Chain A
Amino acid sequence: MVDRSCDLSQDLETLHSNEILKAKSRYLRGNIAEGLEDTLTGAVPGDDPLLMKFHGIYQQDDRDLRAERQRRKLEPNYQFMVRMRIPGGLLTDRQWLGIDRLSRLYARRGLRITTRQTFQLHGIRKHHLRLLMQGIRDLGLSTIAACGDDSRGVVCGGNPLLSRVHHQVAQLASATNELIIPKTRAYPEIWFQEPPTAPPNAKDDPFYGPLYLPRKYKVGFAIPPVNDIDVYGQDVGYIAIVENGELQGFNLCVGGGMGQLDSREDSYPRLAEQLGYIPAQEAPQVAEIIMGIQRDFGDRKDRHRARFKYTLDRLGNAWFLEELAKRRGKPLEAARPFQFVQNADVPGWQLGDDGLWHGTMYIESGRIDGALRDQLMGFFQQYGGRIRLTTNQNLQLVEVGDYELEQVKWRLDDLGLSHRMEPHLQAAHTLSCVALPTCGLAMAEAERYTPRLLNLFERLKAQYGLQELPITLRLTGCPNGCARPYLAEIALTGRAPGLYNLYLGGSFHGDRMAQLYASNVDETRFLELTAALFERFSAERQNGEHFGDFLVRAELLDKAPVQIR
């Protein structure tokens, strides 16, 4: 018998308070509309900020100003982060220019490309929220379920060299996205002030039901040999199987997830496990079926054990495969062979098999603000191709015709953008989350510290002759894992201002977890520890060996320095 003591079969009153909140929210309406009208505060009162996440909106405040404003008898400097939903990260030039304009009207820190290939706008004031949401709608985009306990934006990897396959996979990703997003009328009612067509009822979201999911649910598609999306970090990861240039289907991986709490032993990052193979056209339905399984069996009492990875660990793969086969009507086929070689982007121009050009442009921490925003706006005013955001926070110019390539390069040159297309290896292999001052979870700096860290790191590499070798380096402000730190060769996760936990030994293409090497290291200690390992690496490195692989082969990770505990 399956243990159902913590899932939605239990009495609502015994579940986590967030479940009760969702149940009473009338399909995500809550009192958001009333809270928007309250002029005494820049926040949305009560529990509504939790519901607004399902609408793609995080309530935040500028933490740099908290103490000063408290003294001044003012509430925190409340503001909102709005995250869009851009399946596969694909945009037209018109959409780019529209988003650029919205960011100038309503946002404070430009645009930020996220690790789920979408845009975040920071610093939106409450009285601008509706205007912004309507502006996003007018561009044919949405923010629904970009956060919250639901299916987040479906990511789709890129592979310019297999353009036709990429097209097919991107279409499946988009179809999956459409199938599994929440459909509640709360969204147009609140943000577009559309009149209700009916009172809130089960038809709002028949598949999700009133409790939605126990936690977030992430689906991603990767196209080997590039694992840019970090398929092993997804709740459901699809690895495209291509034979003779044709897309056949997908290997199915389940149960990946980055988040953990430092204070709980039973909270951990986990790699998705590859369990089988499905035909290509079934991908959307299978993602929905698995979402249904997680909806029905996920832990709704303990939010720190609610992700799908814990459901799988609790109930077992055998149970899952049986449940999946039952709901799907047939078992999975055996997984097929494939190979990954990297999980980063390759900056610069590549010619696709469809004869069109694809250029990857490096964007530090995905932040597009100030001069860079102006340069890109200028560029996209005369650009005929399409735009793709990558899961490594970079920007791709895709589907550029042969005839226009020369002119595009000229314009990039004119606007001072072409250096971003040069294969500046380390920067393109570095990720950071937003962290301070707006993220409520951050305990240390990330994005704002990246330029300095990157500089020191590159100097260190050069000292040991490693400047030509990319190493995946990821920096987050907390253990929650927004920049997928546990899949990096080197990662720092924030513990306190200036202090990080150092994780080492992930693989270069993201299929091996990094492990905790030292706790509470500051910058000096980080550089010392890394220098010692670089010294060994540069002396003992085998041909073509990556840093993470070397650490594992040389068994250096078990000889971790004494940890402060």
Chain B
Amino acid sequence: MSAPPSPLFPPAQWQQIEPLLKTLDARQALWLSGYLAGQGGQAAAASLPAAAPAASSSILIAHGGETGNGRGLAQKLADTVRASGFGTDVMDLADLRVRQLGKRDYLLLICSTHGDGDPPEPAQPFFDALLADNAPKLPNLRYSVLALGDSTYEHFCVAGKQLDERLAALGATRLHPRQDCDVDYQTPAAAWSEAVMQALASLTPAASAPASAGSPAPVAEAGQQYSKQHPLSVEVLENVRLTHPARRDAIHHLELELPQDDLALEPGDAVGVLADNPPKLVASLLDATALPANSAVTVAGESLPLVQALRQHLDLTIPGTRFLEYWAQLSAAAPLLKLCEEGASAQRQYLKHIQVLDIIRQYPALPIAQEFVDALRPLQPRLYDVANSLRAVPGELHLNVKAWSYEFGDRLEPGIASHYLAGLTSGDSIRLYPHRNVRFHLPEDAKAPLILIAESTGIAPFRAFVQELALSDAPPPCWLAFTERNFEDDFLYQTEWQNARGKGHVQHIDSLFLQEQPQATPASVVLENAARLQQWLDQGAHLYLCGDKDLLTACEAEFGSHFGAERWKALNKDKRIHRNLY
């Protein structure tokens, strides 16, 4: 039993704390440090890592290559590192993201060069991100590179050299100089490993404590509430189009930075996104009304320039009756005035088939900025299900967004919020607030089997579910059924599902691709294993449906007729059917 790391703890208390800390894995330690920081402020956070090495001080061994040589070396090195009493993780560069390095103190890189000076193909995204102008600074990182190559090529070991030089340029410190190896790499690689181990041994006891304890995460004011009125501004880390470039309603995966982990979002919850109107639409409205962009207006008690009000606060597409009346008076257009005298249903009918800009263009008039603003409806936030577990991927918020368009008369109108999100690039910031979906959380009974039925972006909350389950020691059985268009291009998060099934976090994954099986339905695919479905339901399974309302309502009806209306009613009554349909 070691002495308490701080006079703060009486020995008796420390005796209770220490055994527990020893049992924590890296993720648990990280979570706990964040939890305690949130509960008690900085003092707890600052003292914890010294006693329980958090994820940051474990040594990351990353390898990149196409032949497996690098992987082999990395595993050997990891064994040595572990034998010396350090914690370590081994990762393929294909799976490593540059910004994860910001949380690391030690990085040992083994990377081969392919072709004539190219990085390994699977590691290309890592290289791109590292070499990008906006790559994060890495002042706390100590590293060393082992470069593998073939000296019969002109650009020998170039990929390794690139990594080495770029990491230095980003402020990281070399633990040991880079070693370049030819095809007979074994001896120099062994020498490098030995030198790196020596450098680590001489550095770590002194270096690890300040490196991990010195930068406690910024702690938010406890209990701070974000809402529609007080949204949180977050930065876009990454925006990836998941579907084929030719697909019109593209589906994007967005990763946002969450500097504060106090959003209290559970898997199944959503965020409200306050989208900006497209600049083109704002410009068209300003043109059509001949209003100066910088006219001062007041919206909800806040004074701001007109252009900002139009861009961020007002609905520029759907006109309300207030706008109709205002514009009728202003333009004195006979058809509008006549409509104002008719009943509400005629007005609704008219307003359903026309947009703000159409009215203004059809009946031109010159409004006053404040009156115009007052006549418009406020821009409503749009809800998007959170696609990650904040416990599994702390500090990030993921969204899965379909750039949706709708037919309006003879034109195709882009959905404002989804196109706004799909068009974001890394570095942009967006405003959002948490939205709880209490009825779409994981069951309280942690053993209840899960049947997850997703259509398209309805996969998002299930991705969060499965990430969460992966943290559990005894995850419940899980069965995912996914519907999209085409196997080759629309299998959202395919590699992650393969991984999840490989690790046993999901037992069964059914997929339905409607272009290939137009006659099948989500229910018919699941009912191919009707006996299993029956069995799981008998074992208390919860069934979740997320995605297109029509398709999944029909799916539920099929289940209902298969199992009988009474049985289905009972499941409903037990609150074992969860719906998130749109």
Contacts and interface: CB of A to CB of B under 8 A. Distances in A.
B501 interface: yes
Contacts of A41: 494, 498
Interface in A53-102: 63, 66-67, 70-75, 77
A496 B153 contact: yes
A263 B511 CA distance: 44
Task: Classify chain B's interface size.
Answer: 35 or more
Task: Classify chain A's interface size.
Answer: 20 to 34
B125 A67 contact: yes
A565 B491 contact: no
Interface in B119-149: 121-122, 124-125
B116 interface: yes
A565 B152 contact: yes
B240 A71 contact: yes
Most buried by B among A74, A75, A443, A520: A74
A402 B5 CA distance: 102
B493 interface: yes
B489 interface: yes
B124 A74 contact: no
Contacts of A156: none
B494 A74 contact: yes
B262 to A, nearest CB: 29
A443 B115 contact: yes
A499 B115 CA distance: 9
Contact of B498 (A75, A127, A499): A75
Contacts of B501: 40
Given A496-B115, A496-B116, A73 B496 contact: yes
A41 B117 CA distance: 32
Given A67-B121, A499-B116, A40 B498 contact: yes
B150 interface: yes
A113 to B, nearest CB: 28
A519 B18 CA distance: 62
Given A263-B183, A495-B153, A564-B154, A73 B125 contact: no
A73 B494 contact: yes
A45 to B, nearest CB: 9
Given A70-B122, A74-B495, A263 B153 contact: no
Contacts of A443: 115
Given A67-B121, A263-B183, A495-B116, A520 B153 contact: yes
Given A77-B488, A498-B116, A565-B151, A72 B240 contact: yes
Contacts of B496: 73
B94 interface: yes
A73 B495 contact: yes
B242 interface: yes
B500 to A, nearest CB: 10
Contacts of B579: none
A188 interface: no
Contacts of A262: 152
B241 interface: yes
A66 B238 CA distance: 19
A39 interface: yes
B242 A72 contact: yes
Interface string B188-227: 0000000000000000000000000000000000000000
Interface string A15-43: 00000000000000000000000011110
Contact of A520 (B154, B242, B516): B154
B497 interface: yes
Interface string A477-511: 00000000000000000011111000000000000
B242 A67 contact: no
Given A70-B122, A71-B240, A263-B183, A42 B488 contact: yes
A145 B497 CA distance: 34
B509 interface: yes
B115 A74 contact: no
B116 A564 contact: no
Nearest to A41: B498
Interface string A550-565: 0000000000000011
B508 to A, nearest CB: 10
B167 to A, nearest CB: 22
B363 interface: no
B161 interface: no
B99 to A, nearest CB: 16
A497 B121 CA distance: 13
A201 B511 CA distance: 37
B454 to A, nearest CB: 14
19 contacts: A39-B487, A40-B498, A63-B121, A66-B122, A72-B243, A73-B240, A73-B253, A73-B493, A73-B495, A73-B496, A74-B488, A74-B494, A75-B495, A263-B150, A495-B153, A496-B117, A497-B115, A497-B118, A519-B152
Given A66-B122, A498-B116, 20 more contacts: A39-B510, A39-B511, A40-B511, A41-B498, A66-B121, A67-B124, A71-B125, A72-B242, A74-B242, A75-B498, A263-B183, A495-B116, A499-B115, A499-B116, A519-B152, A520-B116, A520-B152, A564-B153, A564-B154, A565-B151
Task: Return the 4 tightest CB-CB contacts between A and B, nearest first.
Answer: A496-B116, A496-B115, A67-B124, A263-B183
Interface of B: 94, 114-118, 121-122, 124-125, 150-154, 183, 240-243, 253, 487-489, 491-498, 501, 509-511, 516
